[in-house]
A and B are shown apart, each in its own frame.
Chain A
Amino acid sequence: MSEKKFRQKKWQTTLFFTVIIVVTFISSSITKFNFIHSMTTFPSAFTWIFSNLMITEESFKKLPTILTKLNETIFMAIAASTTAAALSLFLGVMGSKTTKVNNVFSVIARVIASFSRNIPIVAWALILLISFGQNSLTGFLALFIGSVGFLTRAFIESIDEADQSSVEALTATGATYFQIISKAVIPQSLPQIISWTLFMIETNIRSATLVGILTGTGIGYSFDLYYKSMDYNTVALITFTIVITVILIELMSNYIRKVII
């Protein structure tokens, strides 16, 4: 590299970092974010966490009720992910370049996916809350819609990437469209599809907590309830059970992924 090029590169890097710093400062001024103050909250926050977020015997008595709520959340997350996966598989087959029926359906599938993916789950939860009221179904539908968007994109990619030779072989034997899809396309991308669905379950359990706070269901509701009544020992217990659940599910899906892919 010549000296001139080096100098140009250095200048570009400087410019890039200047832009980043300026953007950061603009952001911090419009959001009224104070760097120094927020950094000083770290020590106090952690002291607070270690002195107050302790699971006591008293809070431990609430474990059965918490576990039933947690169960509700887990089931909601799983059901939302699997039903979304079923619909997404259909949309994915429609939307993929290699298996689409015609361009109209392909565009429709992609638009549905983009629409449901780009409106955050919280927005869906708030929209559905108005007419569905506070029950599990609201949370389920919010998670379902968000998952459909994400999974359809993932499935389209998996189907696009799949090897085309078996599709070609089946076409040569005169197989119908449905036979090709069910015998060549789906079996090939099934490991990917399962892997993405498992990922979605993990994500949905975390989002379900958030949705639960808004829709008044599941573990999110319990958290909100004890948080607002300042019963921090129970809050600690709830957080702990969520952490255990998420880690267990992650370990399980890592194992499944390792075996099937």
Chain B
Amino acid sequence: MQYDLATHMKRTRTGKISLKSGEKSEKVIQLTVLSFVVLTIAAFFFFDFTGFQFKKAIVETAHNLKVMFFMPKLSHFGFGEAIFQVTITLGLAVLSTILGALIAFFLALLAATNLSKEWISRTVRVIVAFIRAVPTVLWVLIFAISAGLGSEAAVVGMLFHSIAYLVKAYSEAFEEVSPGIIESLRATGSSWWHIVKHGIVPSTSTYIMSWTFLRFEINFGVAVAMGAAAGAGGIGFELFMASGFYFDLREVGFITYAILLVAILLEMLSTRLKNRYLPSEK
């Protein structure tokens, strides 16, 4: 191949020098954006518009949103009960996060390539990928058959995705522990468990705590959803009742504000933790 500049330079049909590099990555970006556009346009043809009147829906939604967000009021239960329901949702999130963290810690040790055998780490990763592919609500509903609807099915179902998420986060943190630490501990004759206890845990504990809290924030949202979709109780269930059974817009508004408040508080805390302890994404 010749590396003569004049022939190597790409030209358009008219003879102008092409400014695009023509790299693979650029082509893939173009192709991806193009397929996004095509699929989105196609999607609107696939939609099922049964019983939908555009103008009516917009006007109604505007009215509903106004009632909900400007006139929030509780009518089917009191303020104390509302707080109690929020605590139940928080409780579900706490349980699934803490139990998930506990299980994920051990699985992450098996999944980290520097602490485990390759085939074990690969098996754990495949299992985790499978768990992630099944939506949380399906896990909850499947467990509800044998455990009955309620907090147990909800927590166990939510546990699956918490574990999957945390195993990924923890094992990446473990893999970043400097090999020098592990090697020097190994040289002193430490057992595998000693390496974990005195080498891995001390150097990753802030990461572990930050990731766990990030998951807790996600789990609060999930717990609201599970209350609504799987009847697990908590504020999500009250929201489901208020909107689907009583059609009480003002109560929906109040509940939404309660959820929003907790979610924003959690987000502020986790952003702080993230900025302080976690390196920027990737």
Contacts and interface: CB of A to CB of B under 8 A. Distances in A.
B199 interface: no
Contacts of B142: 45, 49, 53, 239
Interface stretch (B49-57, B74-82, B117-125): B49-57
A243 B147 contact: no
Contacts of A120: 221, 224-225, 236, 259, 263
Which 10 interchain pairs have the tightest Cβ spacing?
A: A79-B43, A27-B91, A131-B60, A118-B263, A75-B43, A246-B133, A136-B47, A122-B225, A31-B151, A126-B243
Majority SS at the chain A contact face:
helix
A75 B46 contact: yes
B156 A260 contact: no
Nearest to B26: A260
Contacts of A37: 147, 152
A67 to B, nearest CB: 12
A122 B138 contact: no
A38 interface: yes
Majority SS at the chain B contact face:
helix
A interface residue count range (under 10 / 10 to 19 / 20 to 34 / 35 or more)? 35 or more
Nearest to A30: B91
Contact of A118 (B24, B87, B146, B267): B267
Interface string B41-70: 011101111111000010011011100100
Interface in A83-124: 83, 85, 114-115, 117-123
Contacts of A26: 91
A209 B138 contact: yes
B96 to A, nearest CB: 10
A44 interface: yes
Interface stretch (B10-18, B31-39, B174-182, B187-195): B31-39
Interface stretch (A54-62, A165-173, A174-182, A190-198): A190-198
Given A161-B280, A256-B28, A123 B259 contact: yes
Nearest to B31: A256
Given A24-B98, A27-B94, A135-B49, A33 B135 contact: no
Given A31-B92, A130-B60, A210-B137, 11 more contacts: A27-B91, A28-B91, A33-B92, A33-B155, A45-B142, A45-B143, A82-B39, A130-B64, A135-B52, A194-B33, A246-B132
B4 interface: no
Contacts of A127: 64-65, 68, 243, 252, 256
